[in-house]
Amino acid sequence: MSSPGGPGAASPALAEPGARGPRGPYRASAATLARRATAREQLIAAATETVAREGYRGLTIVGAAARAGLAVGSVYRHFDSKAELETEVFRREAERELTAVRRAAELPDEPIAALRDAVATFAARALASPCLAWALLAEPVGAEVETERLRFRRSYRELFGSVIELAIAAGQLPADQRPSLTAAAVVGAVSESLIGPLAPAGAGDGDAADLVERITWLVVRLCGGQP
């Protein structure tokens, strides 16, 4: 049987996939894309505020949407799941913290001073935002965030390892050590000293400067140096 448009007309069933009428598929305007990007950033900012204040346990889709001024259903235009939103928050905040520590390690001329400054920056920032530090370092999380956490811990190990190698080359630390192994111990020692069940009671209270100095001293001694 001929199609309604005659022998040469295409059957509706054979229409090109994705076509939406004679003008083709819909394309969002630049203004629409900008609004979507703004809404996404507002949502991430709202989720980050919650995590920094309450940890991941306090983050909900409903709460993040309300804080961002968005409808709950609109969240899923930007993230397929709560886990994806959590992972984006973690990735951004962890990268911000890592960047600060990297910058601290780049400033001094002497490698041992770079090691001290990097550790001091890590510790001071964790003490200044203890709930966020707990969320980034130790809070029980889903598999997606845990994968990112491991990736960033490896980045810290590589950073400290490179500084330790430079200090060894400069004769400031003993050469009879494996920098990667020492660096892994540094990451664990600093994290456990500040956050989590092994941190001293009241680690986030009192004289933060004194605690930062003591942790820095501990790391330098762990590496075989003199504080």
Q: Which amino acid is at 82?
A: K
pLDDT of 79 reads 94
Q: How many CB atoms lie within 10 A of CB 7?
A: 6
Q: What is the pLDDT of residues 20-30, one digit of tens each?
A: 445 556 677 87
Whether 144 and 87 have beta carbons less than 8 Å apart is answered as yes
pLDDT of 208 reads 84
Q: Which amino acid is at 215?
A: I
| Spans of all domains in the chain | 28-79, 83-222
What pTM did the predictor assign? 0.81
CATH of 83-222, one of 3.50.50.60, 1.10.3720.10, 1.10.357.10, 2.60.120.280: 1.10.357.10
Cα-to-chain-centroid distance, residue 219: 24
Regions of the chain where pLDDT drops below 70? 1-26, 196-206
Q: What is the pLDDT of residues 153-203, one digit of tens each?
A: 999 999 999 999 999 999 999 999 999 999 999 999 999 888 865 565 555
pLDDT of 80 reads 94
pLDDT of 199 reads 63
Give the burial class of 118: count Cβ atoms within 10 A of its Cβ; 0-12 exposed, 13-18 middle, 19 or more buried: buried
The whole-angstrom separation of Cα 143 and Cα 95 is 18
Domain over 28-79 is classified CATH 3.40.50.300: no
Whether 219 and 119 have beta carbons less than 8 Å apart is answered as yes
pLDDT of 21 reads 47
- 83-222 has the same fold as 28-79: no
